[in-house]
Structure 1
């Protein structure tokens, strides 16, 4: 029994590590596909459509007995959730990756905990006492994380390393637009801005989804309708954005098709379901804790598989982001321990008063 309980406790941690690896793989593959000329608007529409075809039947089969009834207000919440978490977030992510690199995308995703903290303070979901050291460290950590993201976005610096396992003829870098993107500072800044908007969208999505899960604890159903509405919204966006370019909807049986299938199965079905389950079990802050892990994974995969160049600015900014992030997490854990101790003290005092009575 102790072994089983230990495994159950470790499972959310292992699941989130896998999710981070899959997420970095998705940004790397999507960058490779878009460097060949694939539209990121079409990419998002196709991947969500395929994910919906997988998830919608599964949700009705697996959770048909324990699924609460669907209402119109609940469907409206799912629609808004998909607008924030798919239409805005994914289009901004892949636009940002198209302009910059997977390494920058992973570095900028570390803004998610800082944005989540700011939203929690604004909506009074987070207690903030400026007289307490934990609150002061939390504020400083948030500012440090944002500063690190600005360093990554605005300062590339000299290159550190570049390695590609591909030959020069077959290298993904052979596409001219890809090498031009990496060499243009303006595109790097534009990409960083889109990725910052995506991080804010994820923060809003995490907190909103946690609120919805309290009243509707059916993870797969939420994700299924989330992808369904996202498909409709992203298709409309793609039709408007790619108006007059019907050839962009034609898929090539190469890296484009592979990236869409990977995005639908691992980036959609596996990642969304796992994150929603972890949010329901551990809360949105727990999910955000694993974002710094993506920096090292993205840097390694970008350098090895895409021939991406690792710059000093990315390393310095990533370190600053991680320091600020873990400052926020440390202060959060201190406050959680104090709240637990205070509850225990109240229970003990009540028990003593009851015994004396």
Structure 2
């Protein structure tokens, strides 16, 4: 049941994240600075998370917050700040296309870091490990197909005002520098999932972790943004799409998404959480076709099928590993009990 709940929560989170990214792109076209956006969205999330934490832990025991845990959460905030700064700045210097393509490499980076940190076991003699490896490769390949290969249009007529085409013309193009920043952001995102899982092992409190991390994030991002954004007028928000972007991001991205991602990392591991990143591209295509009248291309269909195959292959591999771990625990428990039986029998004979 928990597996279904985590999957449903992750899919819903990806839907909301795609919607917010569309709003954010519209706000950035009207002059919203990425530095201002990061500071305000994190700061606004604090008064949302604080009463929620008070209500949740009013009758529940809160795990002890040690200096070691506090340092880990600070490290999490540092990595999260790096993710946002690298990705948004990289998008501005290159394009959303390149940023999306780099973001789709998150499962591969997460898989490698999880193996290095011993959070994922890789034994090619086991079907579970084989499935996770193949599924990760398929998901990354499918995401790159969707991003880089368009193919023939299958529905409608190609629009001359394509959103991606417009986005390419909005910002100055420096693909090398922008690509390096996006790649660094993707690597930091994979590291973020690893750190979240590391913290949850000793401090199983998703909401409190998110709250403390958000406080650190506000301080860190403000320190960088006040230096990077020197224009005082950029910090004055207009009551239009800019305010909507920051408000929706504070509620759904900073608050809800971070809590769900932390929970998913604790329940299923960092690789499982990262596997939903390529799924976000399919959701974006679906929403674009359904509500914006975008054209469906052959590359999107092929890439979507490959992503789905990769996603379900990893899920099947994780299920095989969990089943095998359950069987091993059952066998070890049975063996430990069986060793006690002869002692009881000998005592009865002696009596």
- Quick one: distance in 2 between partners of 1:319 and 1:189? 30
- Residue 118 of structure 1: how far off its partner (Å): 1.0
* Alignment match of 1:200 (pick from 178, 184, 187): 187
- Residue 229 of structure 1: how far off its partner (Å): 1.0
Structure 2 stretches lacking a partner, 5+ long:
344-351
1:181–1:187 CA contact under 8 A, matched in 2: no
Q: Secondary structure of 1:251's partner? A: coil
Structure 1 pair 152–93 and aligned structure 2 pair: CA distance change class (3 A) = farther
- Quick one: distance in 1 between partners of 2:172 and 2:311? 26
- Counterpart in the other structure of 1:238: 225
Structure 1 stretches lacking a partner, 5+ long:
1-5
1:88–1:198 CA contact under 8 A, matched in 2: yes
Structure 1 pair 328–53 and aligned structure 2 pair: CA distance change class (3 A) = same
Q: Could you report, residue by residue, the CA deviation over 1:29-75 in whole angstroms, capped at 9, with x for unpaired residues?
A: 11111122211121111111111232235434542562234344333
* Alignment match of 2:201 (pick from 205, 211, 214): 214
TM-score by length of 2: 0.79
- Counterpart in the other structure of 2:347: none
Structure 1 pair 338–11 and aligned structure 2 pair: CA distance change class (3 A) = closer
Larger Rg: 2
Q: Which moved more, 1:91-100 or 1:249-258?
A: 91-100
Say what the alpha-carbon RMSD is for the aligned residues.
3.8
Q: Are 1:49 and 2:35 matched, yes or no?
A: no
* Alignment match of 2:34 (pick from 35, 40, 64): 40
2:139–2:278 CA contact under 8 A, matched in 1: no
Q: Could you report, residue by residue, the CA deviation over 1:155-189 in whole angstroms, capped at 9, with x for unpaired residues?
A: 55666667899xx9xx996xxx9726169996788
- Counterpart in the other structure of 1:94: 88
- Counterpart in the other structure of 2:239: 253
Q: Which moved more, 1:325-334 or 1:216-225?
A: 325-334
Q: Which moved more, 1:42-51 or 1:130-139?
A: 130-139
- Residue 260 of structure 1: how far off its partner (Å): 0.5
1:110–1:321 CA contact under 8 A, matched in 2: no
1:153–1:189 CA contact under 8 A, matched in 2: no
Which aligned pairs between 1:149-160 and structure 2 lie closer than 5 A?
149-152=143-146, 154-155=148-149
- Residue 148 of structure 1: how far off its partner (Å): 4.2
